[in-house]
Chain A
Amino acid sequence: MPGVSLTIDVGALYESHGDWLRKWLQRHTRCGHRAADLAQDTFCRVLETPGSAPLREPRSYLSALARRILIDDIRHREVERAYLAAHAAGSPNADALTPERIAEAAQLLDAIVKLLEALPDNVRRAFMMIRFDGLRYADAAAVLGVSDRMVKRYVAQAYAHCYAIAYSD
């Protein structure tokens, strides 16, 4: 079974490079706990990425992966901060905000932002108006100063882009 040989590889990888990776991450985060978490995430990612069993230079492979995960983590924190800031400004009722609620919202928002952030401005604005603000095509067209048909094409473009990001492997 192909899955089995992969898991053994990752086990061995963890044995021989786990400590090194944690130290590498600690240098970049200056926080032991966070480094340990991110190292864990890195090995999970190795397992999740099919056919990625690292080959000749495991350390450069791992550090490249860890670098992406670190960037991801920084961006995720940014989302969390933005969510908390909006909440603080919008509603004085802090009781509704549990750690679970924050984590869940931040994950959802992070995922959505990842899908949409690389879109060209007009496409993104059209999509937000139609999909999130509930505008009709004619209204969005008036705001953007283009035809209805053009807005519809923008929205389709946004959907295709989401698809490409989510199902690119």
Chain B
Amino acid sequence: MTMERPDPAMPDPAMSDPAIIERAALWAAQLATDEATQADHDACEAWCREDPRHRLAMDRMRGFDRQFGRTDGLEREVIETLLEQRSQDTRSGKARRFGGLALGLVVLAAGGWLAAQSLTVRAFFPEYATQRGEQQTVTLTDGSRLTLDTDAALDFRRSDDSRTVSLFQGQVLARVAREKGALNAPHPFIVQTGDGTATAHGTAFVVRRDEHATTVTVIESAVRVCLAPPAAGRCADLLPGDRARMANGRLTRLGRVDPDVAAAWSEGWLAADDEPVTQVLDELNRYRARPVSFDRSALADYRVSGSFPLSDTDRALEGIVRSTGLALSSADDGALVVGRTK
């Protein structure tokens, strides 16, 4: 695979260059209202294409916008009220309200308060995010490529000793770039979630973060998975086709899978190899704006094999129905229902 790639020996660069941040901030301001023209958008896109660091800085700005855009009218009022309050507090020195603690805040603000804050703040402003039904492939500043599946959100950081993807939700396929230029120890490539970490010793693997668990599937080479604290230290090494689940401080090996099937979603296919149809429908629903409904117990014995297109989930649904001999109908409210033929 060929792609433009920055010098891998370079530290995570976007933050350290104030000129880039400033330029990205100006673009963000330029594009902030509906006065922005198509020419403005094109010019910004051209700037992003010049350098992956430009793209990263801009992606981060858009991450802020996404979250600001999520607020409704009421929430905006609350924000405004709180900001008014706090700016008045600062002016009148009313921060004393926190009792003896206020002094601590002032002192700490001078040294590293921001750094400690940034991780908690950042989780709410992911650099990369996909909508439901959307997939996106991004090239990171180290040349690695991530494919985000439907409804996913993540962040990428590069530090002196590692490359870390923080996966907040959804599923991601990581294709890790080898650091050819690095003469010293290579920077490990880590995907972390609240449940634990997956460290690549090679190239491709999938991490999926569901509401209560994280699943890691290895496509190529090897990956070490480790639980997050308080169970930290418990680890397992996985080979291609191996899967492990991390949840509630427990690490469980799951049955082996065909690596091609496990990564099929990244090529736009929902692949099933003799799986319960309910499980495949659940999976399909992750991509659909309007989920299809079905009676779990009535379909319990049905299984399905095949590949179904994620780009057209209606067509995928028809395919699943056809290959299982089930029937598709519409409920009164227009929602699609899968059931047994009468």
Contacts and interface: CB of A to CB of B under 8 A. Distances in A.
Interface of A: 1-4, 7-8, 10-11, 14, 43-45, 47-50, 64-65, 67-68, 70-72, 74, 78-79, 82-83, 86-87, 90-91, 105, 107-109, 111-117, 121, 124, 128, 130-137, 152-153, 155-157, 159-160, 162-169
Nearest to B70: A108
Q: How large is the interface on B (under 10, 10 to 19, 20 to 34, 35 or more residues)?
A: 35 or more
Contacts, number: 193
Contacts of B117: 114, 165, 168
Contacts of B161: 2, 50
Contacts of A128: 76, 79-80, 83
Contacts of A82: 78, 81-82
B71 interface: yes
Closest 4 CB pairs of A and B: A111-B124, A159-B25, A160-B25, A156-B29
B22 A166 contact: no
Contacts of A48: 119
Given A7-B232, A49-B115, A166-B118, A156 B25 contact: yes
B77 A86 contact: yes
Q: Which of B26, B34, B104, B120 has the most CB of A within 10 A?
A: B120
Given A70-B101, A109-B75, A166 B60 contact: yes
Contacts of B123: 111
Given A11-B232, A124-B87, A168-B114, A155 B32 contact: yes
The interface residues of chain B, by DSSP majority, are classed as helix
A5 B21 CA distance: 34
Interface in B191-216: 197, 199
Given A166-B121, A167-B118, A74 B98 contact: yes
A159 B118 contact: no
A73 to B, nearest CB: 11
Contacts of A71: 98, 101, 104-105
A78 B80 contact: no
Interface of B: 14-15, 21-22, 24-26, 28-30, 32-35, 57, 60-61, 64-65, 67-68, 70-71, 74-83, 86-87, 98, 101, 104-105, 108, 113-125, 159, 161-162, 188, 190, 197, 199, 226, 228-230, 232-233
Contacts of A121: 87
A4 B233 CA distance: 7
B195 to A, nearest CB: 13
B119 A114 contact: no
A20 B229 CA distance: 19
A162 B66 CA distance: 13
A167 B60 contact: yes
Contact of B33 (A109, A130, A163, A168): A130
